[in-house]
């Protein structure tokens, strides 16, 4: 059989959250070992229950024939606890009527317009933008519904990167989506390093240092990626850090790619969107959000959106940037319709006065409180581990502790692999996300049950102190 040459960029890219340690975990699980998978932000895989209202609506959208039956049951309850909420029935009917063609047909390549309109209204409400500030309002025509936030990020990077001398600044540590996509597109990754000891804060000196190094190597930096709340660190950017990024981008003519998929996952800080912080400054901004994270955790449904503000001008084409994004979206015809519907539900939660409100609110609060309690439990356990430190307010779904004490012949990969073999706890080595030279970290997703964590944390503490003091 004739051999072929494949894309070297694909060979070279790395994706640690599905890398050697999780792969080894899968093998051990097949052999019967109890594995606690904390390598990825996948809440429902670790027992988080779906939001009832979301699943009620999705079930009716998938099978509209049962709507009349559910209406009858609502009016004539046999057991009220078996009924789908009246609000879910009303929302489902509205969605089906407005969609016209249901879930089984392609939509506009940007996604259903009325859903994009709802996204725009959600953004304006979130950022306290009213009609008196119409010049700041989100434009539905600049909203793209995507198969998760990842597809939106990939589309933007694919357009911005035209050759190997095009650079994208990314925070280190970073979510490997960005390093992998930059590599896949043939561009150059430019690292910048938030100040870990100052709760992962940013300043212009940090950013300028990375930019000047890129310019020295004749790299044309196009954009800066900011993840807030952060993945993998879980840190929440303060207003000063956000404004430093905005000033820096404006002064250097850069686009900002704001990954804000964890904006609901706040346990001790305030979320400030880049759209709100930029105000009316003409800085190109690409904002990403997703139904995979937050309190919803609908990772497998692949629902997300990309919002574009102040799209950059293009040198080598008369086609506007938004139109090129539309062309790119058209290649895939459209994002999946279940994901589009879920985005609609995400930006239109049940309101007070509906029969879905109380259950929805309770489920939301329970999930977020549970996440915070689990994060706190893990973080407190670090106090009993020699040389383990963790910085920043708790956000997103992750902790990113620093291993200050390791044997001379060891690194964070060796530590995490040994931790897996010894205790069954699957975490990701910090080097898989990037880190400052000479430092070692790990990322743990605080998603397993409290009971699982209480069982494994003593074993982790025992393993850790033995490992670092060998």
Residue 322 confidence (pLDDT) above 90: no
Percent of the chain with pLDDT strictly greater than 70: 94
pLDDT on residue 7: 67
What pLDDT sits at residue 14? 60
Q: What is the pLDDT of residues 73-87, one digit of tens each?
A: 667 666 655 678 889
pLDDT of residue 286 exceeding 80, the answer is yes
**Residue-level pLDDT at 76:** 66
Kindly state the average pLDDT of the residues 222-241: 95
Task: Provide the pLDDT for residue 113.
Answer: 94
Mean pLDDT, residues 370-387 taken together: 96
For range 322-342, the mean pLDDT: 87
Sheet order of strands, 220-227 included: 143-146, 304-309, 285-290, 255-259, 220-227, 166-171, 188-192
Q: Convert the chain into a string of H (helix), E (strand) and C (coil).
A: CCCCCCCHHHHHCCCHHHCHHHHHHHHHHHCCCCCEECCCCCHHHHCCCCCHHHHHHHHHHHCHHHHHHHHHHHHCCCCHHHCCCHHHHHHHHHHHHHHCCCCCCCCCCCCCHHHHHHHHHHHHHHCCCCHHHHHHCCCHHHEEEECHHHHHHHHHHHHHCCCCCEEEEEECCCCHHHHHHHHHHCCEEEEECCEHHHCCECCHHHHHHHHHHHHHCCCEEEEEEEECCCCCCCCCCCHHHHHHHHHHHHHHCCEEEEECCCCCCECCCCCCCHHHHHCCCCCCEEEEEECCCCCCCCHHHCCEEEEEECCCCCCCCCCCHHHHHHHHHHHCCCCCHHHHHHHHHHHCCCCCCCCCHHHHHHHHHHHHHHHHHHHHHHHHHHHHCCCEECCCCCECCEECCEECCCCCCCCHHHHHHHHHHHHCEECEEHHHCCCCCCCCEEEEECCCCHHHHHHHHHHHHHHHHHHHCC
User: Confidence class of residue 417 from pLDDT cuts 50, 70 and 90?
Assistant: very high
Higher pLDDT, 72 or 132: 132
Query: Domain segments of the chain: what residues?
Result: 8-47+361-468, 113-347
Please state which of the four CATH numbers 3.90.1150.10, 3.40.630.30, 3.30.200.20, 3.40.640.10 is assigned to the domain occupying 8-47+361-468.
3.90.1150.10
Least confident range from 166-170, 315-319, 460-464: namely: 315-319
The pLDDT mean for the chain works out to 90
The arithmetic mean of pLDDT across residues 154-171, rounded, is 93
Looking at residue 84, what is its pLDDT? 85
pLDDT band at 268 (very low <50, low <70, confident <90, very high): confident
Residue range 186-215: mean pLDDT, rounded: 95
Averaged pLDDT, 347-368: 95
The CATH class of the 113-347 domain is alpha beta
41 pLDDT exceeds 80?
yes
Closest CA to 233 of 36, 445, 21: 445
Structure tokens of 236? 């929440």
Q: Are residues 304 and 145 in contact, defined by beta-carbon separation less than 8 angstroms?
A: yes
The predicted structure's pLDDT at residue 18: 67
Residue 12 has pLDDT above 90, yes or no: no
Q: Is the per-residue pLDDT at 283 higher than 60?
A: yes
pLDDT of residue 371 exceeding 90, the answer is yes
Whether the predicted pLDDT of 63 surpasses 70: yes
State phi, psi for 222 to the nearest 5 degrees. Answer: -100, -35
Stretch 436-446: mean pLDDT: 94
Which residues touch 49 (CB under 8 Å, ≥6 apart)? Answer: 363
Residue 68 — pLDDT band, cuts 50, 70, 90? confident
Higher pLDDT, 225 or 333: 225
| Residue 15 CA: distances (Å) to CA of 70, 150, 310 | 45, 13, 31
Which pLDDT band holds residue 13 (cuts at 50, 70, 90)?
Answer: low
- pLDDT, residue 229, reads 95
- What's the pLDDT at 20? 87
pLDDT recorded at residue 402: 97
What pLDDT shows up at residue 16?
A: 60
What is the mean pLDDT of the segment spanning 19-24?
Answer: 88
CA–CA distance, 378 with 383 (Å, rounded to integer): 10
Give the model's pLDDT for residue 352.
Answer: 95
Q: How confident is the model at residue 451 (pLDDT cuts 50, 70, 90)?
A: very high
Q: What is the mean pLDDT of residues 97-124?
A: 89
The β-bridge partners of 221 are 167
**462: confidence class by pLDDT, cuts 50, 70, 90:** very high
More confident residue, 47 or 368: 368
Q: Is the pLDDT of residue 208 over 80?
A: yes
User: Residue-wise over 11-25: b if at least 16 C-beta within 10 A, else e?
Assistant: eeeeebbebebbebb
Which region holds residue 438: left if phi is over 0, alpha if psi is between -120 and 50, else beta? Answer: left
pLDDT of amino acid 376? 96
Highest mean pLDDT among 22-26, 149-153, 169-173: 169-173
Closest CA to 245 of 302, 294, 283, 292: 283
| pLDDT value at 192 more than 80 | yes
Residue 393 phi, psi dihedral angles, 5° rounding: -70, 155
Query: What pLDDT band is residue 11 in, cutting at 50, 70 and 90?
Result: low
Judged against a pLDDT cut of 70, whether residue 6 lies above it is answered with: no
Digit-coded pLDDT (tens) for 292-308: 988 999 888 889 999 99
Q: Which residue has the tokens 């820096």?
A: 248
Strand pairing category for 255-259 and 188-192: unpaired
Q: Within 10 Å of residue 142's Cβ, how many Cβ atoms?
A: 19
């Amino acid at each position: 059989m004739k051999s072929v040459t494949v894309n070297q960029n694909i060979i070279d890219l790395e994706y640690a959250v599905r890398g050697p340690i999780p792969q080894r975990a899968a093998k051990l699980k097949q052999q019967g070992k109890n594995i606690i998978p904390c390598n990825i932000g996948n809440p429902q895989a670790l027992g988080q229950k779906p939001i009832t209202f979301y699943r009620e609506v999705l079930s009716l959208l998938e099978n509209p024939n049962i709507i009349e039956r559910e209406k009858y049951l609502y009016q004539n309850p046999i057991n009220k606890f078996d009924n789908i909420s009246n609000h879910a029935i009303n929302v489902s009917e509205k969605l089906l009527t407005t969609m016209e063609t249901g879930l089984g047909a392609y939509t506009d390549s940007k996604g259903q317009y009325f859903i994009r309109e709802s996204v725009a209204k959600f953004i304006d409400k979130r950022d306290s933008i009213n009609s008196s500030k119409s010049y700041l309002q989100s434009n539905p025509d600049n909203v793209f519904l995507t198969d998760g936030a990842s597809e939106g990020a990939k589309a933007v990077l694919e357009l911005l990167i035209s050759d190997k001398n095009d650079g994208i600044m990314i925070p280190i540590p970073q979510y490997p989506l960005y390093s992998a996509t930059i590599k896949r597109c043939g561009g150059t990754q430019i690292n910048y390093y938030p100040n870990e000891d100052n709760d992962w804060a940013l300043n212009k000196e940090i950013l300028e240092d990375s930019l000047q190094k890129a310019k020295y190597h004749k790299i044309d930096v196009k954009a800066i990626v900011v993840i807030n709340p952060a993945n993998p660190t879980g840190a929440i950017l303060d207003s000063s850090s956000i404004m430093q990024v905005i000033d820096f981008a404006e002064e250097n003519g850069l686009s900002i790619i704001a990954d804000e998929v964890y904006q609901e996952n706040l346990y001790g800080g305030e979320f400030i969107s880049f759209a709100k912080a930029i105000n009316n400054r003409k800085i190109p901004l690409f904002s990403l959000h997703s139904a995979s994270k937050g309190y919803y955790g609908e990772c497998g449904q692949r629902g997300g959106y990309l919002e574009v503000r102040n799209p950059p001008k293009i040198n080598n084409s008369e086609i506007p940037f938004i139109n090129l994004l539309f062309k790119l979206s058209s290649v895939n015809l459209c994002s999946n319709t279940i994901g589009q519907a879920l985005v609609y539900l995400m930006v239109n939660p049940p309101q007070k006065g509906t029969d879905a409100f109380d259950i929805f609110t309770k489920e939301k609060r329970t999930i977020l409180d549970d996440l915070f309690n689990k994060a706190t439990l893990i973080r407190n356990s670090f106090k009993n581990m020699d040389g383990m430190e963790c910085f920043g307010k708790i956000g997103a779904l992750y902790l990113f502790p620093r291993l200050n004490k390791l044997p001379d012949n060891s690194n964070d990969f060796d530590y995490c692999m040994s931790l897996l073999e010894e205790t069954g706890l699957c975490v990701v080595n910090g080097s898989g996300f990037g880190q400052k030279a000479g430092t070692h970290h790990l990322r743990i997703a605080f998603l397993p049950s409290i009971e699982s964590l209480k069982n494994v944390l003593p074993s982790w503490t025992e393993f850790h102190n033995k490992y670092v003091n060998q």
